[in-house]
């Protein structure tokens, strides 16, 4: 769950949550709130490409639309995003988000930063763990440097695609706390898109629901009861390499 978060920088924004459902999805039980599709609570994917194909069908109502852009969160979201973009006949680009790990326990996220300056910090966690402002700023500086390095590695001299006026579908291989995706949503929103859609194969219902408060549409293919980790619904969940990301970005989707 995302609690006590703040965004730097981010203006106040209130959005309407809607659900764009394919005919197949319309037959599936909803979780009880607008903006979230649950296809199967116990779905298992072969790998990220398989997950992307399943997720693409959930997004079928966007297929063929003008001014549509798919952004895959690096690195794991790019293979999923490629399948989505190919099915929807939309261009694909990479979007960078870096987790802000707690000092001495970096797997635990105290926030996230994203391309374009979007940032989310879990104030409650920072306060409860006694993390100093100096420690927080040092983590932000380190992860910002790595974010810029990866942007250069993936794009080279190519500029990011223009987000303004587009319907942007943000794709990752799953969400856990939702902090990384929330940072991405806020960063994309600051670039004045027509609409922001979050699409993931798996995540806990609580995090998906909270993302629906800021995104215009949230589609999560499966929300397992007793969610523990994104990898629990994948047979193959190997770490995606930089070379894989570059290869996928170089492969046309339209």
* 160 assigned to some structural domain: yes
pLDDT at 25 exceeding the cut of 80: no
Q: CB–CB of 45/51 below 8 Å?
A: yes
- What DSSP assignment string belongs to 5-68? EEESS-------------HHHHTSPP-SSTT---S-TT--BSSHHHHHHHHHHHTGGGTT-SSE
Per-residue pLDDT tens for 112-162? 898 887 888 999 999 999 999 999 999 999 999 999 999 889 988 888 889
Query: Measured between alpha carbons, how far is residue 210 from residues 83, 198, 216 in Å?
Result: 26, 11, 12
Query: Measured between alpha carbons, how far is residue 220 from residues 113, 149, 159 in Å?
Result: 22, 30, 30
For the domain that residue 212 is a member of, what is the CATH number? 3.40.50.2020
Q: CB–CB of 155/72 below 8 Å?
A: no
Looking at per-residue pLDDT, the higher value among 23 and 154 belongs to: 154
What distance in Å separates the CA atoms of residue 56 and residue 165, rounded to the nearest whole number?
Answer: 22
* 104 assigned to some structural domain: yes
* 73 assigned to some structural domain: yes
What distance in Å separates the CA atoms of residue 23 and residue 207, rounded to the nearest whole number?
Answer: 25
Q: CB–CB of 112/98 below 8 Å?
A: yes
* 162 assigned to some structural domain: yes
The residue segments making up the domain with residue 193 are 48-250
How many Å is the Cα radius of gyration of the chain?
A: 17
* 107 assigned to some structural domain: yes
What distance in Å separates the CA atoms of residue 80 and residue 138, rounded to the nearest whole number?
Answer: 32
Per-residue pLDDT tens for 69-127? 999 999 999 999 999 999 999 999 999 989 899 998 887 889 889 888 788 899 999 99
CA angle 36-40-42, nearest 5°? 125
pLDDT class of 19 with cuts at 50, 70, 90 = very low
- Cis before residue 52, ω within 30 degrees of 0? no
Q: What is the pTM of this model?
A: 0.80
* 31 assigned to some structural domain: no
- Token pair listed for 27: 């037959």
What distance in Å separates the CA atoms of residue 93 and residue 24, rounded to the nearest whole number?
Answer: 28
* 9 assigned to some structural domain: no
- 23-34: average pLDDT: 33
Domain count, the chain: 1
What is the predicted pLDDT for the residue at 40? 57
* 41 assigned to some structural domain: no
pLDDT at 32 exceeding the cut of 60: no
Q: CB–CB of 208/7 below 8 Å?
A: no
């Amino acid at each position: 769950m995302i609690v006590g978060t703040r965004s730097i920088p981010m203006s106040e924004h209130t959005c309407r949550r809607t659900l764009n459902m394919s005919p197949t999805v319309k037959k599936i039980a909803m979780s009880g709130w607008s903006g979230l599709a649950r296809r199967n609570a116990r779905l298992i994917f072969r790998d990220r490409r398989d997950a992307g194909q399943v997720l693409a069908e959930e997004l079928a109502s966007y297929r063929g639309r003008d001014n549509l852009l798919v952004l895959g969160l690096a690195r794991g979201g790019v293979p999923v995003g490629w399948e989505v973009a190919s099915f929807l006949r939309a261009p694909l680009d990479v979007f960078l988000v870096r987790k802000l790990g707690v000092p001495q326990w970096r797997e635990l996220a105290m926030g996230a930063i994203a391309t374009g300056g979007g940032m989310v910090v879990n104030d409650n966690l920072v306060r409860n763990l006694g993390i100093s402002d100096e420690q927080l700023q040092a983590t932000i500086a380190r992860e910002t440097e790595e974010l810029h390095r990866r942007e250069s590695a993936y794009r080279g001299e190519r500029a990011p695609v223009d987000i303004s006026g587009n319907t942007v579908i943000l794709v990752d291989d799953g969400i856990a706390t939702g902090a990384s995706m929330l940072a991405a949503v806020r960063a994309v929103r600051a670039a004045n898109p027509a609409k922001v859609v979050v699409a993931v194969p798996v995540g806990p219902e609580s995090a998906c629901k909270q993302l629906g408060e800021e995104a215009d549409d949230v589609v999560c293919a499966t929300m397992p009861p007793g969610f523990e980790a994104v990898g629990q619904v994948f047979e193959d969940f190997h770490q995606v390499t930089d070379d894989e990301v570059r290869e996928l970005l170089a492969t046309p989707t339209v």
